[in-house]
Amino acid sequence: MSEVVLRVRELRTQFRTRHGVVDAVRDVSFDIARGETVALVGESGSGKSVTALSILQLLESTGSIASGSIEFAGRELVGLSDKQMRDVRGREISMIFQDPSTCLDPVFTIEDQLVEALTIHGTSRKAAKSRALELLEMVRMPDPKTRLSSYPHELSGGQRQRAMIATALALDPKLIIADEPTTALDVTVQAQILDLLRTLQSETGAAVLFVTHDLGVVAEIADRVVVMYAGNVVEQGSVFDVLKDPKNPYTAALLSSMPGTVSSREQRLTPIEGVVPSLFDMPEGCRFAPRCVHAWSKCHAEPPPLIDFGVDRQNRCWLQAKGVEPGLDVDSAQVDTADSDAVETAGAAS
């Protein structure tokens, strides 16, 4: 494997609320290697964005990292001061947000904002102005010289997103976190931005953490995928393995519910019944069990471990421990009464 740029281990992020402290993400672990794109995928409320914001420590004032490790380029980020994290942000890790209009200042030109992003980290103003034009050319901005003097409201949605990508690339970061960067764009512009991100990554060698709910996008851009549900990682592996042969019932259900991900033999989409559980009322066992058509008694009683299997694959599911494939017509009563030695052995081994 290439050099690991980011190593997250057993991350637990909490928020203080008037009803008490709740875990927004818990026991989240994954790696990203240099030049690799890892997609963090799941429904709204699964903990994807909280995980991404935890890496940069951009959480709201009520949020904090309770435990775990976030190691970037061999350096532990958890516990760094605000000043130390400011040096990391932009220079070594940058972020592309979902809506550029919330990040681009409407009263400053695109050039002003690019120049500020550079000079705040020590680049001279003259060099920053030259670099600003280079960056707009790099992100394939139409008529880049003219766009330098444009204000955000004078740009189209796709052009604003290109400007924000340019800002993210300004200091040649080793890791780019892209949080739903194409959700607000139409299909044609979305395809252009995805193609741009792929091209820029190949040119710069940066690692990318791509946060999305769209498995169709994951298939286009990712090397590996980490599936999250209700704050937990439930499955991860290569994008080909996970999308072709999902092992977790949630991943399989997610694939069956999204346009463009079902096979030609299964044209009908199957919605996932129910909703992601509230942070204040998590199930005692598997967090997906109340919505899972394959759940059996142990699923409702005890949280499953994250089981290692195959090459670089993990799955959090008691059915996997018993060798039952999601998507099959599983008789839960038979699973309940079957010998549970495999389950117990897998749980103890993990």
Nearest CA-CA partner of 183 in 157, 220, 162, 206: 157
- Give the mean pLDDT of 78-95: 92
Query: What is the CA angle 304-12-44, rounded to 5?
Result: 75
For residue range 110-160, list pLDDT tens digits in order. Answer: 999 999 989 988 889 999 999 999 999 999 999 999 999 999 999 998 999
User: What's the pLDDT score for residue 263?
Assistant: 46
Instruction: Give the orientation angle of helix 157-169 with respect to helix 110-119, to 10 degrees.
Output: 20
Residue 247: closest CA among 317, 335, 342, 343: 317
How high does pLDDT run on average in the chain? 87
User: Would you say residue 318 has pLDDT above 70?
Assistant: yes
Note the pLDDT tens digit of each residue in 234-289: 999 999 999 999 999 999 999 988 776 544 445 577 889 899 999 899 999 999 99
Mean pLDDT of the region 8-30: 95
CB distance 237 to 313 below 8 Å: yes
The model scores a pTM over 0.75: yes
207-212 and 313-316 strand pairing: unpaired
Contacts of 44 (CB under 8 A, 6+ apart): 213, 276
